Amino acid sequence: MNQSKKAVKRPDGRKVDEIRKVSCKAGVVKNADGSAEFIIGNTTAIAAVYGPRELYPKFKQDPSRALLRCKYNLMSFSVSDRKRPAPSRRDIELGLVIKNALSQLIFLEKYPKLAIDVFIEISQADAGTRCAGICAASLALADAGIQMRELAGSIAAGALGDLVVLDLTKEEEDYPEGATDLPITYLPKQGLITSLQLDGDISFAGFKKALKMGINKCKELVKLQEEALKINYLKGDKK
């Protein structure tokens, strides 16, 4: 095991805790109340927020809070083999995971009976799409001027064999000796992990290390989102 630790080198030469190049931008969909694009390496996520707006069908209205609805979709050409456009079971699950990751961000109780719709489209997928989607959605919600507690950072930690790393690519996920994928969403001000998934095989010690590494990176990603928000507001096209 120790031997593999030395031998493992990341295919793109990154350090273990180094993520791919990130760029994020707010205000990319004009029609939307808020929107953002989040690019990490070869993964691109676009998120648009509509709302708070009236919720139909009416029986779904909640007099105490807004209903947050999230749709995650992989565009059909975003992956090697064309994906059918209809939502897959994976898309449905991730929609729910993303909704759960974002619920604690928003003061939903300030918008009774209304709906807040978040639509996430992945136009290029090279692993880490849910995390890119969550970062894009967090920024888009802020861009929509919705009252929020804070912004959310999200990144996939993981391991190649026993080597703990951040932000795996598709190539790394298919690591022949077994890769572990650990996507994390973290809200720094509240100190809460609001999404956490793991697939693979990792020791408890490795997990603790990966979790810590991921949380620290989430904090940095929140700062990046703050920068992107400022840039968009200074442009003055959102008033």
Partner 1 sequence: MKKYIIELAKDNLRIDGRGFMELRKPISVETGVAKKAEGSALVTIGDTKVLVGVKLGVGTPFPDTPNKGALIVNMEATRLSHPDFDSGPPPPKIIEMARIIDRGIRETKMIDLEKLCIKEGESVWMVFIDIYPLNHAGNLIDAGALGALAALKTARMPKLGDDGRPTEELSSKKLLITKEVLTLTFIKINDTIVVDPCIEEEEVMDARITVSTSGADRINALQKSGKGGFTEDEVIKIIENSFKIRGMLKKALSDVK
Q: Summarize as ranges the residues that interact with partner 1 (CB under 8 A).
A: 80-81, 89-90, 92-93, 95-97, 99-100, 103-104, 178, 182, 187, 190-205, 207-208, 211-212, 215
Q: State the pairing for strand pair 114-124/163-166.
A: unpaired
For partner 1, the closer of residues 96 and 231 by Cβ is 96
For partner 1, the closer of residues 29 and 134 by Cβ is 134
Compute φ and ψ for 159, nearest 5 degrees.
Answer: -150, 145
User: Shortest gap between Cβ of 198 and partner 1 (angstroms)?
Assistant: 4
CA–CA distance, 70 with 57 (Å, rounded to integer): 16
For partner 1, the closer of residues 63 and 236 by Cβ is 63
CA–CA distance, 194 with 184 (Å, rounded to integer): 8
**Rg, the chain, Cα only:** 18
CA–CA distance, 5 with 3 (Å, rounded to integer): 5
**Which contiguous run of DSSP H or E holds residue 117?**
strand 114-124
Answer yes or no: are the C-beta atoms of 182 and 211 closer than 8 Å. yes
CA–CA distance, 111 with 20 (Å, rounded to integer): 37
User: Shortest gap between Cβ of 205 and partner 1 (angstroms)?
Assistant: 8
User: Shortest gap between Cβ of 215 and partner 1 (angstroms)?
Assistant: 6
**Which contiguous run of DSSP H or E holds residue 223?**
helix 204-234
For partner 1, the closer of residues 22 and 198 by Cβ is 198
For partner 1, the closer of residues 13 and 191 by Cβ is 191
CA–CA distance, 160 with 201 (Å, rounded to integer): 10
User: Shortest gap between Cβ of 233 and partner 1 (angstroms)?
Assistant: 28
For partner 1, the closer of residues 53 and 90 by Cβ is 90
User: Shortest gap between Cβ of 48 and partner 1 (angstroms)?
Assistant: 21
Beta-sheet strand order (sheet of 22-26): 22-26, 34-40, 43-54, 114-124, 67-74
User: Shortest gap between Cβ of 162 and partner 1 (angstroms)?
Assistant: 11
User: Shortest gap between Cβ of 36 and partner 1 (angstroms)?
Assistant: 22
Compute φ and ψ for 187, nearest 5 degrees.
Answer: -105, 105
For partner 1, the closer of residues 57 and 236 by Cβ is 57
